[in-house]
A and B are shown apart, each in its own frame.
Chain A
Amino acid sequence: AQSVTQLDSQVPVFEEAPVELRCNYSSSVSVYLFWYVQYPNQGLQLLLKYLSGSTLVKGINGFEAEFNKSQTSFHLRKPSVHISDTAEYFCAVSDWGGSYIPTFGRGTSLIVHP
């Protein structure tokens, strides 16, 4: 069974600053990795995913994430955030070849200040 740890429950940052949201996972098999964003009172929206291939994946809204197998991490980054990036961000992992049902992290609240 897989598990996901999002190390920060809340990340405050000023507008136009860079940000990194951390995600670590554990699994005994190969994995698929995802980041989702949830804006207030909305459903989750897929930001990006790693299935295979290049370890650096680019997503929507200028976000990117890097899969690091040795450190079992999949951190999300953006070089310059906007006020509109204020939201809850969820990391998720699926075991490859299993049920594929993802396990979600507890979420990181990104708060962008003007």
Chain B
Amino acid sequence: DTAVSQTPKYLVTQMGNDKSIKCEQNLGHDTMYWYKQDSKKFLKIMFSYNNKELIINETVPNRFSPKSPDKAHLNLHINSLELGDSAVYFCASSQDSVNYGYTFGSGTRLTVV
């Protein structure tokens, strides 16, 4: 009965590879997000989707592409991985685009070697 679930929890891959991270929420929320947390724990918004529509796309390399097949899912695909992409990626959701508080997934720790 996990509210926001991400897979995989850990991902170790070589530079240049392409990888995906999946996120699903069973809360009936309309808005989903991807955040990146760096090694100093700084959290930065990457993308936001509301009802499958992209509403926020921060300055993220275009190697990162979000995909939302329905409002319960928001996946993150990363092409040509670089060392600097190593971080923890968090998916989150909120009831709608007005922020009354997020529910976060447990994170995906991506290590690029």
Contacts from A to B (Cβ < 8 Å): 32, 34, 36, 38, 41-46, 49, 51, 88, 90, 94, 99-102, 104, 106-107
List residues of chain A with CB within 8 A of the CB of B84: none
- Distance, CA A71 to CA B28, complexed state (A): 37
Query: Which of under 10, 10 to 19, 20 to 34, or 35 or more describes the interface residues of B?
Result: 20 to 34
List residues of chain B with CB within 8 A of the CB of A32: 99-100
Chain A: minimal CB distance from B26 (Å)? 15
- Contact (Cβ within 8 A) A101 B102: no
The answer to whether the Cβ of B49 comes within 8 Å of any Cβ in the partner chain is no
CB closest chain-A residue, reference B45 = A101
CB closest chain-B residue, reference A42 = B106
List residues of chain A with CB within 8 A of the CB of B104: 36, 43-45
- Distance, CA A38 to CA B104, complexed state (A): 10
- Contact (Cβ within 8 A) B90 A107: no
- Contact (Cβ within 8 A) A100 B99: yes
Chain A: minimal CB distance from B43 (Å)? 4
- Distance, CA A101 to CA B55, complexed state (A): 10
- Contact (Cβ within 8 A) B99 A46: no
- Distance, CA A43 to CA B45, complexed state (A): 15
Contacts from B to A (Cβ < 8 Å): 4, 33, 40-43, 45, 48, 55-56, 90, 92, 97-107
- Contact (Cβ within 8 A) B48 A43: no
List residues of chain B with CB within 8 A of the CB of A44: 43, 90, 92, 102, 104
Chain B: minimal CB distance from A58 (Å)? 14
List residues of chain B with CB within 8 A of the CB of A106: 40-42
- Contact (Cβ within 8 A) B48 A49: no
- Contact (Cβ within 8 A) B101 A34: yes
- Could you say which of B41, B45, B55, B100 contacts A49, with CB atoms under 8 Å apart? B100
